[in-house]
Amino acid sequence: MSTPFDNIKTVFRNAEVKPQRQDLYHLSIPKEQLVALVTHLKEVEGYLHLVQLTAVDWIEKNQFQLTYILNNPTKRLDVMVKTFIDRDNPTMDTIHHMWEQAATYQRELREMFGIDFPGSPRVDKPFILEGWDNIPPYRRDFDTKKYAEETYFPRPGRETNDPKEYMKKKLYPDEI
Amino acid sequence: MSKSDLEKRTVMSPDGEPIEINPLQDYFCDAHPKVHEPVLPIFEKFLNWARSESLWVLGFGTGCGAIEMRPLMTPRFDAYRFGIQWRPTPRQSSVFIISGYLSVKTLKRVIRSYEQMQNPKFVIALGSCTINGGMYWDSYNTIKRLDHYLPVDVYIAGCMPRPEAILAGFEKLKELIRQGKGEGANLYAQNFDWYKANQKKIIKDWDMPDYNW
Ligand code: SF4
């Protein structure tokens, strides 16, 4: 089957192409070639818009997956460029020189997953967690519920009522 | 403001002379808040009536519940006929509506704004998030019980409460004030150390004065 990415395979042999929908394709690439591939997509193929940069924690494989979603406004095509990085040494090359807004995504990933992007502007500044001193909260080994209960004074007596039964008892007490 | 802005340091004056500054002492008053004693009961009663009829709300929305405050300003619900209006700064307001979930980052700003408000001041907490955490009960970054950080006068339950409920909450608040029970600011002053300890427990990079009015 031919895809819009066939010519990319000639340049980036390690890239794997997987169609998801007519207008959405997955590209996987080793970490070292990712910036080159994204640059190629932007400069040559016309993927001008960075939709999103996000991460997934594959704790079982000891890896983080980074997903760069790019959009081509003329061809109306989306592509998700995926790469895996080591969970013990999470560093990735920055792409803020191509899209300035990437710096914000990278700052967020740095805070929420602890993935470092050396050279990205203000990447070490707190983003929404000011003074966080635990492991990054989006990592899957962080126990959110336990942390919340220990930190934020839970109110005792939080219980669940069946709304139907509760209202019946309240409105028509004699009928029960 | 960051932590380094509060440290003692030497700066150059406009005339080129180096001067020592200690921002926490020079720029802020570090006295604790004081309990306001009523002067004369009957006079206080009159004052309370006046206060209850003129509630100025700080226009600061913290969570999703803030969206329900907008309809109150429109002709349909028209909170203004009850003597309620919204003000842009803490200095001009007497009611602080905490409209929903509070992240730790927002709590810091809320505390600063609350402390800058003039006495007497009242806090209305909207939504289940302020009562027990609501749907963010297991979140790593939102508080669960607002009354551990600020004295709350009225809770309005719901997720989110309708504008009618908020109006009912205002009526309740007025009642409390007229009965002389709107003592939030005094409560805050009395238990100042307890409130501060709770606030500092979760705000880990405390980069502001302890009490800044
Ligand atoms: S109580 Fe509901 S509406 Fe209000 S802030 Fe929480 S989640 Fe949002």
CB B78 within 8 A of CB B174: no
The Cα–Cα gap between B121 and B182 comes to 8
The DSSP result for B167-213, as a single string, is HHHHHHHHHHHHTT---HHHHHHHTHHHHHHHHHHH--S--S-SS--
Query: Predicted confidence band at B178 (pLDDT cuts at 50, 70, 90)?
Result: very high
Residue B213: per-residue pLDDT = 62
Q: What is the pTM of this model?
A: 0.84
CA A113 → CA A57, A106, B51, B138, B191, distances in Å? Answer: 8, 10, 49, 18, 38
CATH no. of B47-202? 3.40.50.12280
The Cα–Cα gap between B106 and B110 comes to 6
Nearest CA distance, A126 vs chain B (angstrom): 10
Q: Kindly determine whether residue A147 and residue B140, on different chains, have CB atoms separated by under 8 Å.
A: yes
Residue A66's H or E segment, with its range, is strand A63-72
pLDDT of residue B6 exceeding 80, the answer is no
CB B149 within 8 A of CB B180: no
Domains and CATH numbers, chain A: 8-134 (3.30.460.80)
Query: What three-state secondary structure class fits A146?
Result: helix
Cβ–Cβ contact A143 with B under 8 A:
no
Cβ–Cβ contact A160 with B under 8 A:
no
Query: What three-state secondary structure class fits A90?
Result: coil
Residue A82: per-residue pLDDT = 95
Q: Kindly determine whether residue B145 and residue A152, on different chains, have CB atoms separated by under 8 Å.
A: yes
Span A118-137, average pLDDT: 89
pLDDT of residue B62 exceeding 90, the answer is no
Span of A38-42, A171-175, B78-82, B96-100 with lowest mean pLDDT: A171-175
Query: Predicted confidence band at B31 (pLDDT cuts at 50, 70, 90)?
Result: confident
Residue B182: per-residue pLDDT = 86
Query: Predicted confidence band at B2 (pLDDT cuts at 50, 70, 90)?
Result: low
Share of chain B above pLDDT 70, in %: 98
Using one digit for the tens of pLDDT, what is the confidence trace for A104-116? 999 999 999 999 9
Query: Predicted confidence band at B1 (pLDDT cuts at 50, 70, 90)?
Result: low
pLDDT of residue B116 exceeding 80, the answer is yes
Residue B209: per-residue pLDDT = 82
B143 Cβ inside 6 Å of ligand 1: no
Residue ranges per structural domain of chain B:
47-202
Q: Tell me, in angstroms, the distance from the centre of ligand 1 to residue B102's CA.
A: 10
Span A152-176, average pLDDT: 83
Span B152-170, average pLDDT: 92
Greater confidence, A161 or B130? B130
> Which ligand 1 atom sits nearest the alpha carbon of residue B128?
1
Q: Tell me, in angstroms, the distance from the centre of ligand 1 to residue A106's CA.
A: 29
The Cα–Cα gap between A164 and A176 comes to 13
Q: Kindly determine whether residue B141 and residue A128, on different chains, have CB atoms separated by under 8 Å.
A: yes
Scanning chain B, the segments in alpha helix (DSSP H) are 23-26, 41-52, 104-116, 127-132, 163-178, 184-190, 192-202
